[in-house]
Amino acid sequence: MSPIQSLLQDLHHRYSSLSEGKLASYIPELTKANPDWFGISVVTVDGQSFHVGDVDQQFTIQSISKVFVYGMALEDHGRDRVLKRVGVEPTGDPFNSLIRLDEASKRPDNPMVNAGAIATTSLITGEGPTERLNRLLAMFERYVGRDVYVDVPTFLSERATGHRNRAMAHLMLNFGMINGNIEEALDLYFQQCALLVTGRDLAGMAAALANRGTHPLTGIQAASPDYIREILSVMYTCGMYNFAGEWAYRVGIPAKSGVSGGILAVVPNQAGIAVFSPPLDENGNSVRGLRVLEDLSREYGLHLFDLSLGRCRFGEALLASDGEN
């Protein structure tokens, strides 16, 4: 067995009995997840894949969608226009915080917190809500390599209970931070969050980001290479809720997590990694996901600032590996 496959199996075995964490419950539909679901996937930029556990279990992408929609807004409007509407400062506040939305704030802090993500979604261009949704789905389809679907029960569940997100949108409208029809922007935001993916999909999506926008397994150009640097930068500084600083310090790779228990991580020029396990810690990050990624980063020297020899070990292990092609 290849060294990467065997390490993934070890990690899966090591953490499958870890029972800390709780399912997200503020979106009622998310409580239906099985806390035992646990999958780990790696897709390398040269097209090898390694999978263990529940990598074909579907779940809703939730906040991980913010990364890709940000990329789309950048492609639709360019960096300067997007920066005027959504900043790139980490907040250290919870993802659903309202406290920085006031008269004095010119724009939401960054596209990874909900306020910034709703503002980002409101920038997606298209004639009417159907065209905007279709454009968004087409973008995700390029990343996934097949048709994608919105999970309607989760969409409706969040739409019916997302008062906090609705409040943010109203505040932003009041302060002139977003324009247009906010009900439509919120619907599109709830739809993007309710998109169904698997861990296998997420690793491929991460690998496309690691590979300058081209999916290594399908060869499809999912995103323009022009904005990958911007996308990875906000993931690095803001992607892991209010654990983002500690994550950057300990694990050191751009990543984004979501409340359904997925974490997507990008090792630039090397690989995409995804872990899916629904129980979350108090910051909203998957408990098993954090442990697996911290161990993988340490084992293969993946931290971007690990300048020791360790940095090459992932590459060496890949040379010795023969993953699924």
Binding site for ligand GLU (CB under 6 A): 62-63, 95-96, 114, 158, 165, 193, 258-259, 284
Q: Checking DSSP bridges between strand 262-267 and strand 271-276, what pairing results, if any?
A: antiparallel
Give the rounded distance of the alpha carbon of 39 from its chain centre.
16
- What CA–CA distance (Å, rounded) separates 222 from 43? 15
Could you give phi then psi for residue 124, rounded to 5 degrees? -65, 130
CA–CA separation, 266 and 228 (whole Å): 11
Residue 216 to residue 194: CA distance in whole angstroms: 25
Buried b (16+ CB within 10 A) or exposed e, 225-252: eebbebbbebbbbbbbbbbbeebbeebb
DSSP letters of 235-288? HHHHTTGGGHHHHHHHT-S-EEE-TTSEEEEEETTTEEEEEE---B-TTS-BHH
Q: Which is nearer to ligand GLU, 118 or 248 (CB)?
A: 118
* CB-nearest residue to ligand GLU: 63
Considering beta carbons, is residue 11 or 168 the nearer one to ligand GLU? 168
Of 27 and 207, which CB lies nearer to ligand GLU in the complex structure? 27
CB burial of residue 65 (10 Å; 0-12, 13-18, 19+): buried
Instruction: Give 95 or 300: the residue with its C-beta nearer to ligand GLU.
Output: 95
Smallest gap from residue 285 Cβ to ligand GLU (A) = 10
Q: Which of residues 95 and 247 has its CB atom nearest to ligand GLU in the complex?
A: 95
Q: Are 189 and 17 in contact (CB under 8 A)?
A: no
- φ, ψ for residue 279, nearest 5 deg: -65, 130
* CB closer to ligand GLU out of 37 and 50: 37
The answer to whether 89 and 245 are in contact (CB under 8 A) is no
Minimal distance, residue 316 CB to ligand GLU, in Å: 35
Q: What residues act catalytically?
A: 63, 66, 189, 241, 259
Min dist CB 238 to ligand GLU, Å, is: 12
| Interacting residues of 166 by C-beta distance below 8 A, sequence separation 6+ | 186
Strand ranges for 14-87 from DSSP E: 39-44, 49-53, 59-60
- Least gap, CB of 108 to ligand GLU (angstroms): 13
CB 65 to ligand GLU: min, Å = 8
77 or 166: whose CB is closer to ligand GLU?
Answer: 166
Q: How far is the CB of 273 from ligand GLU (least distance, A)?
A: 18
As measured in angstroms, the least distance from the Cβ of 114 to ligand GLU is 5
Cβ(73)–Cβ(120) below 8 Å: yes
